[in-house]
């Protein structure tokens, strides 16, 4: 099925059905993505102000067989936000739908439009004395619609789940231009198939999310943050199990950091303050959020002492102030920046079953070494079994020297992940970057079902063409 371009004639017809200034020519920022691997074809951007306007836009696109690329904050890392290989699509930006429609503190619910920036949703929750727990590096730019469409992860998944787990209801426009008014605020609703979870994580290929009712959580009464130095990933995992036994659901984050990542920071971002005299081989950033009546400092001390007895840790530094806490988190959150400055040959957002992590890391290193002289920075959300496993050139070499090895490295890492029953896209999604990976590693029955669902809900194939499934 061939799509038609969103050309000037189409734009003119569509503009007539919408309020003034609803369409504009696509500026460069709508045609780029952070990795710089794809550039969208030039064309038009539509900027709806309501679900009804979004519906009119999709109806027109469906009738004219014009592709639609939903656009949020543009921070996605797998190219889901730009369509380079199809006739110029209509980009539909949700930026004008950025309202917090309502907050219900007693219900622990907030209703946000898809264009709301994550930080502003967090802020609205905070003002109501509640927590919206989704948290990730791009939270000042990423918008709710994109975060939900990609089922974003981040640092608090261990405790609160992925983006999809924060959603009670959705308002969305389906590919045929009908509006699904599914903005329920219910914790229990068993009336038919869960269309919500189908759109969540579908990366805009099954419909356009325009608003969501989101769960809020209680704000922990107190927070404690510390770096624990551990011998190995296996020790880190044993520490996590110990922490869970002692603290139950009180662990909000559990991030693994390797010396390689710290060395990159030292080299490229020396202004990032590292709290050790010498960078440890492996360490864990642990954050507790505890209920009233519990003291994080003493909980961390108890955890450290037990872990020391069990020879899991050798050192711990507990943040003594909010400023130090911010500094600790900066170490973790600026690692991707350090990586970028060095220049990864191949980056992998993978997950394996928690218990398999130590073996995965142990087996990965010699496999990569077998391909050449590389450096590995393996770090991430250990509590979720989600690692960012990035491969860099040896000192003195550049990523450009290894371009022709990228595929081989990627294949090696992904094959190993697959052998452990893992995922080759833990939190970033498929987008355009991993369409082939999905075909290679995906379960055939699931893939067939996905294709059948796509064809059923979007028979003209207009929604985000080429993302997730080959067009």
Residues 102-161 that bind its own copies (CB under 8 A): 104-109, 129, 150-151, 153, 157-158, 161
Element (H, E) at 104: strand 100-104
Phi and psi torsions of 65, nearest 5°: 55, 50
User: For residues 431 and 78, is the Cβ–Cβ distance under 8 A?
Assistant: yes
Site residues for its own copies, 394-453, by CB under 8 A, read 421-430, 434, 437-438, 441-450, 452-453
Least gap, CB of 340 to its own copies (angstroms): 22
Q: List the one residue out of 155, 33, 143 whose CA is nearest residue 98.
A: 143
Q: Does 351 bind its own copies (CB under 8 A)?
A: yes
Among the listed residues 355, 367, 398, 407, the single contact to its own copies using CB under 8 A: 355
Among the listed residues 285, 457, 462, 463, the single contact to its own copies using CB under 8 A: 457
Q: List the one residue out of 217, 368, 379, 231 whose CA is nearest residue 311.
A: 231
> Which of 291/365 has CB closer to its own copies?
291
Tokens (6 digits) for 329? 């988190």
Q: 């190219």: which residue's tokens? A: 79
Q: Does 9 bind its own copies (CB under 8 A)?
A: no
β partners of residue 44: 25, 90
Among the listed residues 272, 279, 297, 354, the single contact to its own copies using CB under 8 A: 354
Site residues for its own copies, 182-241, by CB under 8 A, read 182, 184-195, 197-198, 200-202, 206, 217-218, 220-221, 237, 241
- Strand bridging mode 374-381 / 349-351: unpaired
Among the listed residues 7, 165, 231, 281, the single contact to its own copies using CB under 8 A: 165
Count Cβ neighbours within 10 Å for each residue of 129-147 and write b for 16 or more, e otherwise.
ebbbbbbbbbbeebbbbbb
Instruction: Provide the Cα torsion 118, 120, 123, 125; round to 10°.
Output: -70
Least gap, CB of 56 to its own copies (angstroms): 15
Least gap, CB of 4 to its own copies (angstroms): 23
Site string (66-105) toward its own copies, x via CB under 8 A: --------------------------------------xx
- Contact range with its own copies by CB under 8 A, out of 261-269, 319-327, 329-337, 381-389: 381-389
> Which of 23/103 has CB closer to its own copies?
103
Element (H, E) at 245: helix 233-247
- Contact range with its own copies by CB under 8 A, out of 1-9, 243-251, 258-266, 400-408: 243-251
Site residues for its own copies, 30-69, by CB under 8 A, read none
Q: Does 250 bind its own copies (CB under 8 A)?
A: yes
Site residues for its own copies, 286-305, by CB under 8 A, read 290-294, 299
User: For residues 358 and 328, is the Cβ–Cβ distance under 8 A?
Assistant: no
Write out the DSSP string of 25-67: EPPGGGG--TTS---PPP-EEE--SSHHHHHHHHHHHHHHTB-
Among the listed residues 23, 384, 392, 460, the single contact to its own copies using CB under 8 A: 384
Site residues for its own copies, 253-282, by CB under 8 A, read none
């Amino acid at each position: 099925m061939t799509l038609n371009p969103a050309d000037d004639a189409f734009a003119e017809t569509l503009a007539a059905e919408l309020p003034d200034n609803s369409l504009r020519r696509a500026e460069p920022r709508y045609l780029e993505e952070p990795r710089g691997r794809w550039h969208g074809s030039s064309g038009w951007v539509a900027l709806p102000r309501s679900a009804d306007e979004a519906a009119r836009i999709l109806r027109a696109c469906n009738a004219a067989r014009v592709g639609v690329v939903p656009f949020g904050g543009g921070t996605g890392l797998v190219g889901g936000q730009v369509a380079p290989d199809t006739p110029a699509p209509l980009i539909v930006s949700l930026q004008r739908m950025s309202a917090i429609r309502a907050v219900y503190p007693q219900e622990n619910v907030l209703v946000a439009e898809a264009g709301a920036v994550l930080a502003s949703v967090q802020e609205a929750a905070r003002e109501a004395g509640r927590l919206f727990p989704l948290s990730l590096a791009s939270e000042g730019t990423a918008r709710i619609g994109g975060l939900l469409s990609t089922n974003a992860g981040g640092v608090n998944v261990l405790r609160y789940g992925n983006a999809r787990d924060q959603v009670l209801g959705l308002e969305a426009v389906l590919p045929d231009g009908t509006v699904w008014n599914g903005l329920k605020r219910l914790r229990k609703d068993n009336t038919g198939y869960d269309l919500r979870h189908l759109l969540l994580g579908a990366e805009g290929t099954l419909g356009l999310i325009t608003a969501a009712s989101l769960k809020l959580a209680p704000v922990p009464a107190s927070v404690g943050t510390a770096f624990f130095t551990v011998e190995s990933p296996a020790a880190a995992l044993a520490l996590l199990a110990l922490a869970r036994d002692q603290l139950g659901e009180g662990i909000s984050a559990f991030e693994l950091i390797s010396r390689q990542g710290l060395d990159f920071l030292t080299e490229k971002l020396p202004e990032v303050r590292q709290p050790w005299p010498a960078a440890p081989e492996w360490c864990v950033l642990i954050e507790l959020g505890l209920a009233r009546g519990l003291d994080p400092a003493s909980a961390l001390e108890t955890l450290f002492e037990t872990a020391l007895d069990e020879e899991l840790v050798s050192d711990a530094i507990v943040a003594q102030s909010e400023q130090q806490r911010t500094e600790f988190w900066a170490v973790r959150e600026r690692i991707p920046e350090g990586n970028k400055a060095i220049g990864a040959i191949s980056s992998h957002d993978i997950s394996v079953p928690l218990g398999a992590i130590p073996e995965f890391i142990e087996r990965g290193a010699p496999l990569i070494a077998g391909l050449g002289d590389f450096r590995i920075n393996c770090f991430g959300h250990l509590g979720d079994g989600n690692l960012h496993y990035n491969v860099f050139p040896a000192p003195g070499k550049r990523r450009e020297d290894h371009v022709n090895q990228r595929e081989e490295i990627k294949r090696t890492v992904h094959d190993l992940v697959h052998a452990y029953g893992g995922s080759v896209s833990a939190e970033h999604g498929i987008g355009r970057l991993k369409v082939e990976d999905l075909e290679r590693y995906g379960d055939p029955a699931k893939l067939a079902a996905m294709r059948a669902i796509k064809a059923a809900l979007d028979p003209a194939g207009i929604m985000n063409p080429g993302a997730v499934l080959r067009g």
